[in-house]
Amino acid sequence: MKENIRLWSILAVVLVADMLDMLDSTITNVAAPMISKALGGGQELMQWLGAGYALTMGVLLVIGGRLGDKYGRRRLFLIGMGGFTLASLACGLAVSPQMIIIARLVQGAFGALLIPQGMAIMAAHFPREMMTRAFSVFGPVLSIATICGPIFAGFLIHADLFNSGWRAIFLINLVIGTLGFIAAYKMLPKDSGQKDVSIDGIGSVLLGAMMLSLLYGIIEGSANNWQQRSVFIILLGVVLAAFFIWRQAKADNPIIEPTLFRNRGFCAGLLLGFFFFGVVAGLTYLISLFLQLGLGATPFGASIQMVPLSIGIIISSILTPPLIERIGRNIVGIGLIIILVGLGIMFYQLTLTVSNPWAFAPAIFLMGSGMGFCFGTLFDFTIGDINPEEAGSASGSLSAVQQLSSSIGAASITSVFFIAQRYGSINFSMERSFIVIVVAIVLCLLLVRLLPVKTGNVKH
């Protein structure tokens, strides 16, 4: 009995950490226009608020797991939780665009140290039966946290606690993070780490430099009419990507196992995941911007008007497990087609210049429903053909791709939105952004047939 209480306490601590990450990855979606207006910085700040967090999270996620193996998972968990909380304080106290962007980058970096440790601690100390029960809790809780991020942010801004306005969405982490740190210090088992674990430092630097170049080039280029410097920085990112792939083939301890690149099903899923999660991040951010900048909604109003998206995700997530048994990987294709239908309906409404935000609710609901069919299945099919010894690298790679594609997707799609806004109305900007999203989804549909036929057994 006492042992069960201890294990459930560990699970609770890990869930708090993961919920913090899920909330903060989306919490600026509805607050970005207000933050930009308060601090200045214009469209670049609005793009960096979400993309910066996902960037450092994605770049350092796999490395964070290796650091936990080497120096001790409990130690890295505490460092990550403490650093994340302090970075949240810096975000809440920011007085300039530069300060909040740097704070968001640091927040994502400490999140990357924090998140991998929880799953590793559970895998090392939980019996198989307990792990199964833990995973049954993880999915719904984290899905709800992701969905509720913008809603929670809108509520906090509307409540205006102690006249804090948008700052409350970051300052609330002081309470959650402090309690989480104390609980982790008391509950998590101690471990000394494995000093012989090695980390590919060169590969890590190449990965970080590559992603920073691509993201910085996209955001700065869209804000400054694509000057030569922006194009050069993007090309530099492409060159660094080639060096990173070469390094992974040569390194003794690569970040990504080279054998995974020879697995057609895994590569197809990795590429599909890159486009899909980029679309999800960009589309949800786009809808929030449209509701606020186009229809005049407050952050709280925008968060409420996006509730149909959350409802759609929840319903389709519940329907997905039994459907997988019947239609297999086609469930991913069905989800993508439903998103396209939702986009088509909203595109048509934009051409009619519909101004009632609730008129878009059915289309937004359909988009959420399509996303829900893909969220829980895409990566499960991607790892369907991998070997057991590749599981750790595969799971870490997929998680990193999810974060990195979110940063690039949000930056790219909002770049199209802001560029188009210079030449037409906000409806025109939305229509042009939708075209880019449709192209990405069509590419995803073409990749579905290359996924493994069966799901894998690895949980992530």
- Report the candidate in 49, 153, 34 with the shortest Cα–Cα distance to residue 91: 49
Q: So what CATH class is 1-194?
A: mainly alpha
Identify the pLDDT of residue 317. Answer: 82
Distance CA 251, CA 122 (A): 29
Ranges of H-type helices in 27-72: 32-39, 42-71
CATH 1.20.1250.20 fits 259-460, yes or no: yes
Identify the pLDDT of residue 458. Answer: 43
Domain 1-194 identical in fold to domain 259-460? yes
Residues ≥6 apart with Cβ < 8 Å to 231: 217, 221
The domains of the chain are located at 1-194, 200-252, 259-460
Instruction: Determine the straight-line distance between the first and last CA of the chain, rounded to whole angstroms.
Output: 28
- Report the candidate in 136, 188, 111, 142 with the shortest Cα–Cα distance to residue 15: 142
Q: What is the pTM of this model?
A: 0.81
Q: How many residues does the chain have?
A: 460
User: Up-side HSE of residue 309: CA atoms within 13 Å toward CB?
Assistant: 25
Ranges of H-type helices in 329-377: 330-351, 361-375
Place of tokens 């939780």: 81
Identify the pLDDT of residue 454. Answer: 76
Whether 147 contacts 49, CB under 8 Å = no
Tokens of 5: 């209480």
* pLDDT tens for the 460 residues of the chain, in order: 677 788 888 888 988 898 888 788 888 888 889 999 999 888 889 888 888 888 888 778 778 887 888 888 899 999 999 999 999 999 999 999 999 999 999 999 999 899 888 877 887 787 867 766 776 666 567 666 766 777 888 888 888 888 899 999 999 999 999 999 999 999 999 888 777 777 778 888 888 888 888 878 887 787 677 788 888 999 999 999 899 888 888 887 777 777 777 888 888 998 999 999 999 989 998 999 999 989 988 888 988 998 899 889 888 888 888 888 788 889 999 999 999 999 999 999 999 988 898 999 999 999 999 998 988 688 778 877 777 666 656 766 777 777 778 888 888 898 899 889 888 889 999 999 999 999 999 999 999 999 988 765 444 3
Residue 378, Cα to own-chain centre: how many angstroms?
15
